[in-house]
Amino acid sequence: MQRMQHVVAGRSLYTRLVTRVGAVLAVSAGALLIAIWISTQMAANQAYDRILSGSALQIAENTWYDNGAVNVDVPLAALSMLGTGDHAIYAVFDPQGRVIAGDGEFRPEIPWNELEQGPLLRDGEYLGTPVRMAIIGRRMPVDGPHPWAVIVLAQTNNARTSFAQSLGSKALVLIVAMSVLTLVAAMFTLYQALAPLKRIEAAIRERDLNDLSPLALTVPAETHALVSAINAFMQRLAVHRATMRRVIGDAAHQLRTPVTALVSQMEMLETQTDEDKRRRHLDQLRERTRSLGALVNQLINHAMVQHRSDSSLQAPIDLGQLVREQMTEVLSNRERTPHDLALDMPETPCLIRGDAISLAEAIKNILDNALQYGAPGLLHVRLEARLERYVLGFIDDGRGIPAADWERLRKPFSPRGEGRMGASLGLSIVEEVMRAHGGGMRFEHTSEGYFAVVLDFPAYREPA
């Protein structure tokens, strides 16, 4: 027993999209926050370094050489520019490296060889506290290896750190707020974007079970393929259902009369007391039963062919081998066979693309018709290759089918009379099989005056 496959509902597509958008926003916000934090630190350092360098330059401008000594007048504005919250330390050195002003304990290393480059900014320490220093050299009119008076102005980092943290905190609040707003907007946008799927679901759910017409919806391009696939599936389902209804209707219509006659025959048999009449009723009952069996068999074969005609025909088949097998099977079940039997076909395989089961049924029907209603002494089967097609002919010396009935007998349930049993579906089955295989069936008379049923098949081609 085939196990039914159920569709398992996974995570919501909306949840997946929101999760991914949220993850992208979180990573973006983190990267942006790091970039802003670094930028804020750099901006704070640049701003406070400019103030520190400007204050050191003011002290340097008030440094001069007089009477063999370096003099300095530290302006109050130079230190007041450094702001509150920080401790400022300065020291002024003469060319000999002696402190002439400022804090005597503040003795950082002086880069004598770099003083010509202008204000130098360095990180250092004062009494174990990190400081930022501005070092400026002012050339003095003295001889010696270092003709410089050196001004070193240092400032603790409290103000710049506090400034950077303040900007960073404000940026963090702004980024978090914008990320939340963006996520909310994205959730709303995604909900609106997925709304067409809800409309498709509602359109299918609200449909009547018997309504298999295509969905008439205006959908985005991304879901157009989905709706087209659903419509194509419903179209195939409608075709199969119509086929099923037609088969059921045909069976009901064709079986009603013979079943009724069979029941009536059985009732008459029960009431009959005369032995001769009972024997005649039994013969008629036996004949009607055989007729009903032939009818049921034809209906089943017709339904099978209609069902398989919708399936894809992918398998390459050797038509010659198939004809040989069907002739062997049909002839082995016959008590009487024509004395002139012939099977003429190429020695090489004759490949066509098709369904072996339905093709075998079509060939068997033609052989059965030829042996039962024609071919009193001759039955020739010929398979020929003509360009890119194969022509299969069944030739017998029977009376054949009148030309006036050639088109009519291609349709189902078109009786030919002559006391035949069944539903007259043999040729209609062949017609449907040939149509499904891209071929055709025709009737003709040969130059010798024999009747022929000819099948025309396209040759098999290897896929590119």
Residue 252 banded pLDDT, cuts 50, 70, 90:
low
296 and 233 in a common domain: yes
pLDDT at 55 over 60: yes
Residue range 368-427, pLDDT digits in tens: 888 888 778 899 999 999 888 999 999 998 888 888 888 888 876 666 555 554 446 778
Considering the domain architecture, whether residues 423 and 333 belong to the same structural domain is answered as yes
The residue out of 280, 308, 336 marking a domain boundary is: 308
Please give the Cα distance from 372 to 375 (Å, whole number). Answer: 8
Lowest mean pLDDT among 138-142, 199-203, 379-383: 199-203
Other CB atoms within 10 A of residue 313 CB: 18
CB 393 within 8 A of CB 382: yes
Q: Among residues 263, 289, 308, which one ends one of the domains?
A: 308
Q: Which of 102-106, 381-385, 391-395, 454-458 has the lowest mean pLDDT?
A: 102-106
Asked if residue 48 has pLDDT above 50, the reply is yes
In the predicted model, what is the mean pLDDT of residues 42-63?
Answer: 87
C-alpha–C-alpha distance, residues 422 and 425, integer Å: 8
273: exposed, middle or buried (C-beta count within 10 Å: 0-12, 13-18, 19+)?
A: exposed
Question: What is the CA angle 386-392-396, rounded to 5?
Answer: 130
Task: Identify whether 176 is part of a domain.
Answer: no
321 with 452, same domain? yes
Do 38 and 138 have their domain in common? yes
Domain-ending residue, one of 147, 165, 183: 165
- The mean-pLDDT minimum among 151-165, 258-272, 317-331 falls in 258-272
Domain membership flag for residue 407: yes
| Whole-number Å distance between alpha carbons of 445 and 51 | 115
Would you state the pLDDT for residue 301? Answer: 64
Question: 322 and 267 in one domain?
Answer: no
Whether 333 is in a domain gets the answer yes
Question: What CATH number does the domain containing 415 carry?
Answer: 3.30.565.10
203 belongs to a structural domain = no
Total number of domains in the chain: 3
| pLDDT for res 376 | 82
Q: Is residue 185 one of the residues assigned to a domain?
A: no
131 and 35 housed in the same domain: yes
Query: DSSP secondary-structure letter at 423?
Result: -
Mean pLDDT (the chain, rounded): 82
135 pLDDT band, cuts 50/70/90, is very high
> Does one domain contain both 277 and 362?
no
Same domain assignment for residues 333 and 434:
yes
Angle 13-61/158-193 helices, nearest 10 degrees? Answer: 160
Domain, as residue range, for 291: 222-308
For residues 348 and 438, state if they share a domain.
Answer: yes
CA atoms of 15 and 187, how far apart (whole Å): 9
Q: Which residue has the higher pLDDT, 67 or 383?
A: 383
Instruction: Decide if 463 is inside a domain.
Output: no
Q: Give the per-residue pLDDT at 274.
A: 76
Per-residue pLDDT, 422? 46
The CA distance from 68 to 142, in Å, is: 8
Which of 20-24, 205-209, 355-359 has the lowest average pLDDT?
Answer: 205-209
Higher pLDDT, 346 or 413: 346
Asked whether residue 273 falls in the same domain as residue 324, the answer is: no
For residue 127, being part of any structural domain is answered with yes
288 and 326 both lie in a single domain: no
Output the domain CATH number for residue 269: 1.10.287
Token pair for 124: 């250092």
**Helix, strand, or coil here: 311?**
coil
pLDDT band at 351 (very low <50, low <70, confident <90, very high): very high
Model confidence at 2, in pLDDT bands (50, 70, 90)?
A: very low
Out of 119-128, 172-181, 381-390, 403-412, which region has the weakest mean confidence (pLDDT)?
403-412
pLDDT at residue 305, as a whole number: 66
Position 253 scores a pLDDT of: 59
Same domain, 254 and 279: yes
Q: Report which residue type is found at 301.
A: N
- What pLDDT, on the 0 to 100 scale, is given for residue 1? 41
Q: CATH number, domain at 75? A: 3.30.450
Question: Which whole number is the average pLDDT over 317-335?
Answer: 90
In a domain, 212, yes or no: no
